[in-house]
Amino acid sequence: MMARTNYLTDLLSSIFERTPTANGDTDSRSIEDLTRALVADEGEVSTLRLARSILRRYAELSFDEKHAYLTFLDRELDLDPFAVEETAQRYAEARTTAHLKALLAAAEPPRQGLFRKLNQVDGATARIVDMRADLLDMLADDDALGRIDLDLVHLLSSWFNRGFLVLRRINWQTPADILERIVEYEAVHAIGDWNDLRRRLQPPDRRCYAYFHPCMPDDPLIFVEVALTKGIPDSVQSVLAEDRPQLPPHQLNTAVFYSISNCQKGLRGISFGNSLIKQVVQDLSAEMPQLKTFVTLSPLPGFADWLGTQSEHGEAAVAAIAEARRGDLSALQAMAGNLRGLAARHLAQAKRSDGAPLNSVARFHLGNGAMIENVHAMADLSDNGLRQSGGVMVNYLYDLNRVERRSEAYLSNKTIAASRTIRSLLKSAPTKSPFESASGGARR
């Protein structure tokens, strides 16, 4: 299976590998005038020349100049609502193919055609992803640029469709430039050095998988780190311990997804994680049939802040977390039971206005068809783990026989699948704060 995947990767990479054409930018027009020319241009040669010039000029702009350029795209290359109204009326009166074609053309902002033309240039896909990363940095102060973001999300969702992605296993033989990116992009449990990376990749009970796109063959889009264990671990310290015991393969019965990192800021909101986990589960099941349990060991970002809103129990937890970050773990250890109950409440009962769980990681895994299996106090004692999650980590269980049904129930009714352990914790959890939403619940 993996040999076939590697062959496909090499094949696709060779197909899509293109050497950029050396072509100096001698056009003296402004980037705005070049853009107008490209939108109006229909010739292949001139399209490529103009697109190269625009991408080169954009890369050389300062942040403020990039903002001015994107504002130009927003204002000058927007759709014409009157043309949309007129063509829609014609189509309503006579639903002909010609009228539908005219309506579709009118309903698409010229910006989308621009981005498609830009994407014809060698290496342009990565540059457009970077352009969206710039855009995301600007949106907080200029929400009008959200119109361009809609265009880019629409296009990137198509260009990065799951059918175009290639799953590759990352191991100690992976090229060094890709390994360096894995170290750089790790967003959950920082990789300290090359020895730390080796411990996560080389042992037979460790795996790492990443999605790549043929137009970005050396830059991962997202990757997941997996520990193969006997039973479900209750802390990341045990997973990452240097002196952990090496078990024989026949004793390994659990695959633990303990870190998943999105690598490209410009692809934020374009989901790969759901299909990545499911594909890795399928591949591991085929490779190692003795694996019966597939579970995450996930952080609980935002939990520490939420505790501050939860009456005296939450306030005591916040104080204990502060002491733990200063090196004294005793108070946090003493209230481990309360922390687990509060975490269960946070996951299963704290809701947004739309009825979805407040916690973003919970929304991701529940929408993916997982069940909240367990919560563990003192599970991540790093400063980041204490600061964001109060040291708490969560197991989300992926049962291949139930993920589809659970995903449908969550997406349709916001039904939260929770184990007996979680329901028991909810019954014994500290008193609910009057500020917490009373909606929602937990079901197995």
Q: Which two tokens stand for residue 320?
A: 């204990």
- Cα–Cα nearest to 336, from 375, 387, 372: 375
Residue 211: both structure tokens together? 């999605």
- Kindly name the residue from 261, 365, 376, 389 that is annotated as catalytic: 365
Q: Which amino acid is at 369?
A: G
Strands 393-397 and 298-299: antiparallel
- Determine which helix (DSSP H) or strand (DSSP E) holds 146, and give its type and residue range: helix 146-159
Q: What is the DSSP string of 244-264?
A: -----GGG--EEEEEEEEE--
DSSP single-letter state for residue 59: H
Q: Does residue 365 carry a catalytic annotation?
A: yes
Catalytic option among 235, 259, 261, 298:
298
Residue 58 CB contacts under 8 Å (≥ 6 apart), including other chains: 31, 66, 69, 127, 131
**How many Å apart are CA 390 and CA 388, to the nearest integer?**
6
The verdict on whether 213 is a catalytic residue reads no
List the Cα angle 10/12/16 in 5-degree steps.
120
Query: Which of 220, 218, 298, 302 shows the shortest CA–CA distance to 259?
Result: 298
141: its two tokens: 């102060």
Cα–Cα dist 271/276, whole Å: 9
Residue with tokens 């102060």: 141
Q: What is the DSSP letter of 376?
A: E
Within 326-359, where are the H helices? 330-334, 336-348
Q: Which of 255, 249, 257, 258 is nearest to 284 (CA)?
A: 255
CA pair distance 312, 442, nearest whole angstrom: 24
Output Rg (C-alpha) for the chain, integer angstroms.
25
Which residues are known to be catalytic?
298, 365
